[in-house]
Amino acid sequence: MMSRGRLFFSPILLLTLCLLFLPAATAGALDREGPAVVPAPQPDDWWRLRHEQVLSRVREGAVDLLMIGDSITQGWGGEGRRVWERYYAHRRAVNLGFNSDRTEQVLWRLQQGEINGIRPKVAVVMVGTNNSGSRNDPPEETVAGVQAIVTLLRAQLPETKILLLGIFPRGATANDALRRLNRTINDRLRGFADGRHLFYLDLGSIFLDHEGRLKRDLMPDLLHPNEQGYQAWADSMEPQLKALLGD
């Protein structure tokens, strides 16, 4: 039974919708079905509390911009809070980033009310580094999880433009195993863009020096930006975001 105001998408239906809403060239990403496409919450109390806080904010309406992702996105409320206030608060933005989330947690949250009753102009999506980093998912499974997310957004928010970001680089050097894994994922994600509803942007180079090493002055822990990193992110994303928002 479907409860009022909530849509439940089975993994099979999500995969079917992916074929309808995204370019045919991306269908290869759906060859493998794993946990990345099966909606599941995190078990921790703080996670449930944050979800309830997000629902409360969304019920207020007046949402033009969504930021969807994991701890890197949640960090707009921490290390990046002053940058957020300058760039996004006046744009009626809502932060849907949750620490440690993988694609299946994002799917669960979006199904459980976090995009109900709103019509944002733009949704910025970046997720997947915890699929590769904490569970070592094969790239095709992470890509399928991201694809399920953007398909769900297209189905429930058909007027919203999606700005899909490449997963940020991690690890000290260009040869880091997780760096290479995320690069493989990004190579596939860029094929999702259609230039009308879904746009792709890879900002990874702003965090790297000329030898491909992560800049510790922007990512001290080799994964999460500090305030200067969030400033670099905002500055680099601004031209594309401004165009999509119609500012």
Residues annotated as catalytic (active site), given as ranges: 71, 221, 224
Q: Helix and strand tally (H, E) in the chain?
A: 9, 5
CA–CA separation, 128 and 204 (whole Å): 14
Three-state DSSP at 226 gives: coil
Q: How far apart are CA 245 and CA 231, in angstroms?
A: 19
β 65-69/161-165 pair status: unpaired
Residues listed for the chain = 247
Q: Give me the phi and psi of 18, to 5 degrees please.
A: -55, -40
Asked if 29 and 143 count as a contact pair (C-beta separation under 8 A), the reply is yes
Q: Residue 12, SS3?
A: helix
